[in-house]
Amino acid sequence: MMFAFEVDDAAPRDFAGAALVVVLSREKGARSDLGCDLGKTLPAAIAHVAACGDLLGRPDQLLWLYPALMNWRRETPYQAGRILVAALAGDDADPDLLAERLRLCGGLIAAQLKQIQAREALLLWPRDLNLQPAGALRALVEGLALGSYTFAGYRSVADKDGEARQSCRFRLYGGDGAQDLQAAVHEASVAASAVVRARDMANTPANYWTPAEFAATAARLGRGKKLKATVLDKDELEKQGLNAILAVGSGSARSPTLSVVEYHTRKKDPTLMLVGKGLTFDSGGLCLKPPAGMDEMKYDMCGGAAVMAVMQALPELGLSGLNVVGLVPAAENLSGSAALKPGDVLQHFGGRYSEVVNTDAEGRLVLADAIAYGIATFRPQAVIDVATLTGAAVVGLGHHYSGLLSNNDELASRLVAAGRVTGEPVWRLPLGAEYRRQLDSTVADLKNAADRSGGTITAACYLQEFVGETPWAHLDIAGTAWNFTEKSYVPKGASGVGVRTLLRFLLDWGKNVEAGCPQNPLAKRDGRRNL
């Protein structure tokens, strides 16, 4: 199901669509300030249900009411076919936690509307929460849009009436503040659409989503007015000396690519660079992965999908105050006759040599090339890379937090804050020379893997070697990119994690620049120190 959102001030009692959706504060129940007069019948019915203990605010509890059955007083105040009541699971003092509860609520509502195949719905939500109305509505819209997601898939018989093709016009009651809320709805809708695009890329089977498809997507974006795209094919990769990207893809008949998408505002604005790992399939190469679960390795490009989706969303959001460059190194890591071998030595872009001791530690190889090339070409004020990089991240953090490693405290704290706001939490891990020493090689500048201890950290240490003095952060989303946890707004398959966090980070930085704050807020660096 797809939602189209609009804010209006139409009287809820005059709404005649499939469902009137009422979200309440658990503490205040029917007394919640919804920005409009509900009359007497509905609040009385809700109060009665609550008095019976049947509307407790549990995360999975919703209540259907039917106006036609409420006419025992000969009062017919509601024209909607159904009324769906949801009580928030809690009224947290923390606005970020409250926003997440609203997202979860939105996801549950989306599932119910999908079930009844609603074509039109109207939403009322409480204005007396510990969260600004715009923030509350933004979270609800995100939950609704993301909770309605269905991957169309591949079937021999087309389902013309399938849920993936269903659409619902969702009206959001704004009352007197309708105009002020429109911007929040637009931002949430664009962010959710970007997540959907990232999910679609990642859920597509690897024989359909290839390195060439990343390149084609970038080229398509570059045909717009506000984005510029450059694609480096095999010949150009060789010319530029991006040997690690070439080596990782050498075992596949499908050539690797490096897609570059640029979003420009003003020359004087700072530039931030995003790099997303785009391994469209990872067999492990000659260090072959076990068969069980290998089908999930189509998800090894979730970082690249996130970056590409973010770049597409920036013109729609009208980001100002910040130039953004997105790079996606894409390859298939297979075991063909020309495949990379354990013990091989590669020369990265910029000249550094790396000994390959594990062909299944390939993500850091392509990222290192892309990071070094991007810094030399675009000279960004900061770099953020996103990658399903290590199984160690899953061992250490499970499926609920993404790993964060950085050489810059300010950059790290901004990403932590963005993750908290968007409900995509990240946990910062340490860096240091003691971890870097695990990558010492006897034949090259460094090797691409160490022992199993601290695997997420040593992988980041490898990337740090190619960053130089540039403020940099690494997001390891191996545990959160797919099937990571059960949330109402995150279905099975790819989660699209990282998209909303990066958009929030970029929007906040851009607003700071426009407000006259320092263009490079990341000037205070802490070298290798990581608290």
Residues carrying CATH 3.40.220.10, the chain? 2-175
**Residue 188 to residue 145: CA distance in whole angstroms:** 9
- Per-residue pLDDT, 68: 78
- The answer to whether the CB of 387 falls within 8 A of the CB of 477 is yes
- For tokens 């960053």, what's the residue? 467
What are the beta bridge partners of residue 6?
A: 171
- Per-residue pLDDT, 47: 84
End-to-end CA distance of the chain: 44
- Per-residue pLDDT, 61: 81
Kindly state the DSSP code that residue 288 receives in the 8-state scheme: P
Residues carrying CATH 3.40.630.10, the chain? 200-514
- Per-residue pLDDT, 519: 61
- The answer to whether the CB of 415 falls within 8 A of the CB of 501 is yes
**Residue 112 to residue 329: CA distance in whole angstroms:** 40
Q: Which CATH superfamily is domain 200-514 in?
A: Zn peptidases (3.40.630.10)
What are the beta bridge partners of residue 7?
A: 172
pTM (2 decimals)? 0.94
Q: Which residues of 39-75 are buried (b: 16+ CB within 10 A; e: fewer)?
A: eebbbebbeebbeeeebebeeeebbebebeebeeeee
Q: Which SS3 state, helix, strand or coil, does residue 209 take?
A: coil
Phi then psi dihedrals of residue 169, to 5 deg: -85, 115
CA angle, residues 4, 6, 9, in degrees to nearest 5: 150
- Per-residue pLDDT, 520: 64
The tokens describing 89, both together, are: 């699971």
Beta-strand relationship, 120-124 and 167-173: parallel
Residue 364: active-site member: yes
Nearest partner of 231 among 216, 250, 248, judged by Cα: 216
**Residue 116 to residue 193: CA distance in whole angstroms:** 23
**Residue 269 to residue 340: CA distance in whole angstroms:** 41
Residue 268: active-site member: no
The tokens describing 263, both together, are: 């979003």
The tokens describing 3, both together, are: 């939602």
Q: Which SS3 state, helix, strand or coil, does residue 279 take?
A: strand
Nearest partner of 324 among 338, 337, 339, 309, judged by Cα: 309
User: Where do runs of H (alpha helix) occur along 67-177?
Assistant: 95-115, 133-147
Given 171, 364, 414, 500, which residue is catalytic?
364
Per-position pLDDT tens, the chain of length 531:
788 999 988 788 888 999 999 999 877 777 888 888 887 778 888 888 878 877 777 777 899 988 877 664 455 568 888 999 998 876 677 899 999 999 999 999 999 999 999 999 999 999 888 889 999 999 999 999 999 999 988 887 755 445 555 788 999 988 777 777 999 999 999 999 999 999 999 999 999 999 999 999 999 999 988 999 999 999 999 999 999 999 999 999 999 999 999 999 999 999 999 999 999 999 999 999 999 999 999 999 999 999 999 999 999 999 999 999 999 999 999 999 999 999 999 999 999 999 999 999 999 999 999 999 999 999 999 999 999 999 999 999 999 999 999 999 999 999 999 999 999 999 999 999 999 999 999 999 999 999 989 999 999 999 999 999 999 999 999 999 997 777 999 988 999 999 999 999 999 999 888 887 766 666 544 433 332
Given 119, 289, 352, 525, which residue is catalytic?
289
CATH 3.40.220.10 fits 2-175, yes or no: yes
Strands (E) located in 344-458: 345-347, 353-355, 382-387, 402-406, 426-428, 446-447
- Per-residue pLDDT, 512: 86
- Per-residue pLDDT, 319: 96
